Amino acid sequence: MRSVALLALLIPLLALTGCSATQKPAASADYEILRILPHDASAFTQGLLFHDGKLFESTGLYGQSTLREVDLQTGEIARKRALPHNLFGEGLALYSNRLYQLTWRENIILLYDATTFETTGSLPWKGQGWGLTAWSNQLIASDGSAQLRFYDPQTMKLLGEVTVRDQGQPIAQLNELEMVEGELLANIWREDRVARIDPSTGNVLGWLDFSPLVPEGLRASREAVLNGLAYDPATKRLFVTGKNWPVLYEIRLSK
């Protein structure tokens, strides 16, 4: 009787083990995947933010760049603004109900009213534009180097800058940015890891390994890389996606 009971226990256990070996891990020590949601695989994601229950996205490439409001549940586009063909969309931030959309090499930031989605003008920019996020009364921008620069959102006057370092070593290729509970998250271009940065010093406090999130068919891609971080402070959820990824992850960070 005992061996039969043991066998009955073992069979489902073995089945589970065999199953989990072929699937991606659903969690790591640093985070838990809450939901896997659909994402527009034609979106070359360059910036992502969550505000007041809404997901906003900036997409890149010449002739394909857009600003979007996206339905979180379905991944469908609720509202969209196409950029002129000579502009390449990059990082996206929200400050004082205004959306700031950075461009790559076009020396301009596009402005929109977050409520009406109407274009409200632009501000000048200097150098390459990569990631953008708001922190307190400033905007923080990355440009693919190890530098983070801080700007006045009204005038885009440079207020200061820090070099991001991990144990003294500069960390370059900083891309999409997101503030999470006082820490600045930055994903590294063409890597599956995200730095947790003290924005006041530039010091790396730790790393998040998001390699288990990369969709199976895109692992070998040089372009379809992790590049979307958005945080909802109200529910403490982090949303993570990538360029042309068919999925968007809803995550809870462990600490």
Q: Contact positions toward Ca ion, by CB under 5 A?
A: 48-49, 178, 229
CB of 17 to Ca ion, least distance (A): 38
CA distances from 36 to 90, 95, 98, 126, 174 (A): 24, 28, 29, 37, 25
* Residue (146 or 184) nearer to Ca ion, CB: 184
Residue where the block lists tokens 């200097």: 126
The residues near 85 (Cβ < 8 Å, ≥ 6 apart) are 62, 63
CA separation for the pair 141, 161 (Å, rounded): 9
DSSP class of residue 223 equals S
CB of 175 to Ca ion, least distance (A): 10
* Residue (29 or 133) nearer to Ca ion, CB: 133
Nearest to 211 by CA among 35, 42, 48, 30: 30
* Residue (106 or 178) nearer to Ca ion, CB: 178
CA separation for the pair 33, 44 (Å, rounded): 23
* Residue (2 or 196) nearer to Ca ion, CB: 196
CB of 22 to Ca ion, least distance (A): 32
CB 78 within 8 A of CB 207: no
By beta-carbon distance, which residue lies closest to Ca ion? Answer: 178
CB of 189 to Ca ion, least distance (A): 14
CA separation for the pair 174, 79 (Å, rounded): 29
CB of 62 to Ca ion, least distance (A): 22
* Residue (20 or 235) nearer to Ca ion, CB: 235
